[in-house]
Amino acid sequence: MDHVTVKDVMERFGLELAAGGEGLGRHIATTDISRPGLEVAGFFDHYPANRIQLLGRSEISFFSMLPRLDKMERARRLCSPDTPMLAVCHGMRIPPELIHAAEEAQVPVLTSGLTTTKLSSKLTDFLENRLAPMTAVHGVLLDIYGLGVLITGKSGIGKSEVALDLVKRGHRLVADDCVEIRQVAEDTLVGNAPDLLQHLLEIRGLGIIDVRMLFGASAIRNYKRITLIIDLENWDPQRSYDRLGLEEEKQRILDTELTRLTVPVRPGRNMSSIVEVAAMNHRMKAMGMNAAEKFSERLNDMIGREQDPLA
């Protein structure tokens, strides 16, 4: 899981600091956003203090109507030690009692010209992406015909060479060698490259190449949802490989199961074409067209007719 500070949010959305500048390093630990309407009215029994507190027209207008002592008391309780930040929307004027309480508690108060709904939506999307559970795997991630295909396998099996050939065919590289994977939603994994390796591809005997510089911006993507895993392994003559495609293997990453294909590598096999067709076939299956199942049904019908000639 990544770390997000109030300063990160301020810079990302162009928010202006109104008070509590010493607390810009506070960590935001949850993706939930709170609109403290009940708290402004005085009900703090279930105050979610660890969330970003979003104050819109309703909250600020009601706050302004309170007696001065109530304003000071509510502002002090809003700026608790666990509160990462307060954000005031619509560019509204911030009550001086809130500024005073924020300075005392060192809780940042930031202002935005956006509406409360828009800012809440933007903050939620940003935090869900940055705070999503994360892992890293050794492999190559590509965008092939719109599908995020993660190619795995032992070091030296030829993953990067396959990726290079697919990029030359018009597909897009997302990450090579190390793929950072975040679970941004239920059953949704998104992969990207670490900043150090972004747009780079390592080819043994050639070295590191910059895909964006060589092939242009259309040859790369910064991130992609992962749909299919293709695991490359050296051909094992003792192993029985799936020849029909009826068996479906799964691999769990974080809390999501993905379809996994094991493809043997041996001299003479065009691995780039096989990976490309595997992505196309997986897409067809998702659309309800499964060639293996149709073949199996036709084979069973043929066997049935041979066993019962009168049928």
Which residues, 6+ apart, have CB-to-CB distance to 16 below 8 Å?
Answer: 110, 111, 112
Whether 121 has a binding-site annotation, put simply, is: no
CA atoms in the 13 A half-sphere facing the CB of 18: 22
CA 249 to chain centre: 23
* Residue 22 near residue 5 (C-beta atoms within 8 A): no
19 vs 225: CA distance, rounded Å = 39
Q: Whose structure tokens read 């293996």? A: 292
Whether 202 has a binding-site annotation, put simply, is: yes
Quote the pLDDT of residue 72: 95
Token couple for 273: 């074409």
179 vs 70: CA distance, rounded Å = 52
Burial of 149 (0-12, 13-18, 19+ CB in 10 A): buried
Quote the pLDDT of residue 160: 94
Whether residue 221 lies in the annotated active site: no
Provide the 3-class DSSP secondary structure of residue 93: coil
Whether 23 has a binding-site annotation, put simply, is: no
Quote the pLDDT of residue 184: 86
User: Percent of the chain at pLDDT above 90?
Assistant: 77
178 vs 191: CA distance, rounded Å = 10
92 vs 200: CA distance, rounded Å = 46
Quote the pLDDT of residue 288: 81
Quote the pLDDT of residue 308: 65
Whether residue 138 lies in the annotated active site: yes
Quote the pLDDT of residue 1: 56
Which residues, 6+ apart, have CB-to-CB distance to 4 below 8 Å?
Answer: 27, 28, 127, 130, 131
Average the pLDDT over each of 33-47, 108-122, 182-196, 235-249 and give the range with the smallest value: 235-249
Whether residue 243 lies in the annotated active site: yes
Name the catalytic one among 45, 46, 187, 243: 243
Residue 53 forms beta bridges with which residues?
34, 86
Which residues, 6+ apart, have CB-to-CB distance to 130 below 8 Å?
Answer: 2, 4, 8
Mean pLDDT, range 39-48, rounded to an integer: 94
169 vs 96: CA distance, rounded Å = 62
Q: Whose structure tokens read 């065009």? A: 270
Quote the pLDDT of residue 269: 87
User: Percent of the chain at pLDDT above 70?
Assistant: 96
* Residue 211 near residue 167 (C-beta atoms within 8 A): yes
Whether 306 has a binding-site annotation, put simply, is: no
Whether 156 has a binding-site annotation, put simply, is: yes
Name the catalytic one among 177, 225, 260, 283: 177
Whether 285 has a binding-site annotation, put simply, is: no
Whether residue 285 lies in the annotated active site: no
Domains of the chain: 4-130 (3.40.1390.20), 134-295 (3.40.50.300)
> What interhelical angle do 96-105 and 68-78 show, nearest 10?
40
125-153 pLDDT tens trace: 999 888 888 999 999 999 999 999 999 99
Average the pLDDT over each of 11-20, 123-132, 149-158, 299-308 and give the range with the smallest value: 299-308
Helix (H) or strand (E) holding 262, with range, is strand 256-265
Whether 158 has a binding-site annotation, put simply, is: yes
Quote the pLDDT of residue 300: 76
Name the catalytic one among 138, 204, 250, 305: 138
